[in-house]
Amino acid sequence: MERDVITTVFLPVALGVIMLGLGLSLRVEDFRRVIMYPRAAAVGLVSQTLVLPVVCLGIAHAFALPPALAVGLMLLAASPGGASANLFSHLAKGDVALNITLTALNSVLSLVTMPLVVGFALQHFLGSDAAIPLQLSKVLSVFAVVLAPVAVGMVMRSRWPDVADRFDRPVRRASSVFLVLVIAAAVFKERANVTAYIGQVGLAVLVFNLVSLVVGYFVPRLFRIERRQAIAIGMEIGIHNAALAIAVALNVLGNPTMSIPPAVYGLLAVFTAAAFGYLVAHRTA
């Protein structure tokens, strides 16, 4: 793929701003808090890292997605929860503390799980001869863009809370703008084929989104985890970091087609998460 200003400059900057916003909301205590919610955290992490990729694989086959789009959907499934999951959890009367904890843990775990899931998807859908190699240098560069801003945000929150508070709202607003621009950039790069691709993958992405929310909420309920915590897990699993998935598709895999499923997802997830949050917030049981 021809390197251009979108992949070399804009995407790293946009992703860095988004992850800085996430870091400003995190504290070291958020990682320690898992001790307070061991069962809820375990169910949430297992659902995110094991159950969801298997479900996504089944959806990709059920809709007979073309290989590149199937890999893009699997990439989305392997992405951690998005920063907006915390907001939707709050609006749906979920346990935001647990939600923040899961976001922090999933962001770290994705350093291991995302390469594994994407590597499997490339092998499974494209085969060993056609698969795009995951170059270590590119993987490290993307995750440096992910972890460095999160670490900066956490340090600011820990050492200079007043400064972090002043930056928090503007960075959150900038993150929302950059997320929209990242999605627009992905669509722009595939503008010649985007209508056809959306027709092929749109329904599969919607089903994946809805199944993610349902799995995230009802699997914990099957394990008798209380409703507020189940809402938090549902939002964490149901709202993925589309910007990260798009950045990996474009910067690491070098395949704009693979960025289409997360781009479509980014457009749909706001509406489905809002509707789902309304429904679970008004459940009586």
The pLDDT tens digits for 184-196 are 776 676 666 667 7
User: Looking up tokens 């996430």, which residue turns up?
Assistant: 22
What CA–CA distance (Å, rounded) separates 71 from 112?
17
CA distances to 51, 80, 104 from 86, in Å: 21, 13, 11
% pLDDT > 70, the chain: 78
Q: Comparing C-alpha atoms, which of 176, 146, 173 is closest to residue 270?
A: 176
Return the structure tokens found at 115. 């390469």
Mean local confidence (pLDDT), 228-246: 86
Please tell me the pTM assigned to this model.
0.76
Q: What is the CATH number of the domain that holds 137?
A: 1.20.1530.20
Quickly state the pLDDT bin for 66 (edges 50, 70, 90): very high
% pLDDT > 90, the chain: 14
Residue-level pLDDT at 131? 46
What CA–CA distance (Å, rounded) separates 213 from 231?
9
98 is in which domain, residue-wise?
Answer: 5-281
Pairwise pLDDT comparison (149 vs 125), residue with the higher score: 125
